[in-house]
Amino acid sequence: MTTNPFFKNKGPFKIEKLLKLSGIDNKENYVKSKVLDIRDLSTATKDNITFFHSKKYEELASKTKAFFCITTENLKDYLPNHCNKIIVDNVLIATAKITQVFYPDSITDDFDATVKDISKTSFKKKVKFGKNVLIGKNVKIGKNCSIGHNSIIEKNVIIGNNCSIGSNVIIRNTIIKNNIYILDGCVIGKKGFGFFPDKEKNYRYPQIGVVIINDNSEIGCGSTIDRGSMSNTIIGRNTYLDNQIHIAHNVKIGDNCIIAGQVGFAGSSTLGNNVMIGGQAGVSGHLKIGSNVQIGGGSGVIKDIPDNSKVMGYPSKDLKSFIKENK
């Protein structure tokens, strides 16, 4: 089982205890089996519990290795025979409750009480830094790095070689590779906007993933990148984000992408490689944007886009059609 460096797993739990602690009815009377962790369909192993809430993920569901899966009566038949089905009315709320049992610290985003002034750490001789820079416990920083004024690098964050962190930046729950520029005012690795209505109140979904920023990328001023909820939020190699861009939880952006200012991504959407997006475009959640795609400024993307497409408009459509309709 891979250890999460940012959130402590309170497991393992026997399945009957796990369901009881989560307030989920053990209709099938599952007993004894030990569950080590909760994972998504693609990464779950035989010792894990997973969840399946939408037919859109039926292919992943059919291949999951998980021994237990939270799902509905309508979806259970897509799962393999070895996977024991836990039938609930609301999969996402049930999943949130189980995740909170494993990772109780993932709900809140309290400040890191372990931070200290960088001048009082071992980094004072190896990092170029401004005033009021705070560093948390177990942070790792590579060679030839700089950190601007009033920035906070929280516990367990990893920063590679040749990285420049601007002023007024907050980084937590994040792994930063080499040759990265993060400009002023960014907030990276905070919890995502995950809520589900439950009897006249909002139930927050725990966020146990991380942010991974790969080599030779740049994050523009005032941008925010949420950590993943179950999987990770990933920025590919040689990808450049302009100012004031928002990347929601679980978003995965490929290599060599260029994204202009004020673009927003809803959760769990994926971009291929060599994608270009104009300013103020919006991408809805759980979409797949192919490689070599160009999206015009101000567009609203509400459905998947295949490779090598050019789109524009609200809702977005093929560029030639958009131009023809707006002559």
Catalytic residue, candidates 53, 82, 149, 249: 249
* Burial track 294-315 (b if 16+ CB lie within 10 A, e otherwise): bbbebbebeeebeeebbbbbee
**Alpha-carbon span 150 to 131, nearest angstrom:** 6
Residue 89, class by beta-carbon neighbours within 10 Å (0-12 exposed, 13-18 middle, 19+ buried)? exposed
In contact, 159 and 166? CB cutoff 8 Å: no
Active site residue 249: yes
Which of 140, 94, 322 is closest to 85 using CA atoms?
94
Q: What is the dihedral of CA 45, 48, 52, 53, to 10 degrees?
A: -150
Count other C-beta atoms under 10 Å from residue 87's C-beta. Answer: 18
Joined tokens for residue 304: 């998947």
β-strand pairing of 195-197 with 152-153: unpaired
β-strand pairing of 202-204 with 195-197: antiparallel
Residue 64, class by beta-carbon neighbours within 10 Å (0-12 exposed, 13-18 middle, 19+ buried)? buried
Catalytic residues: 249
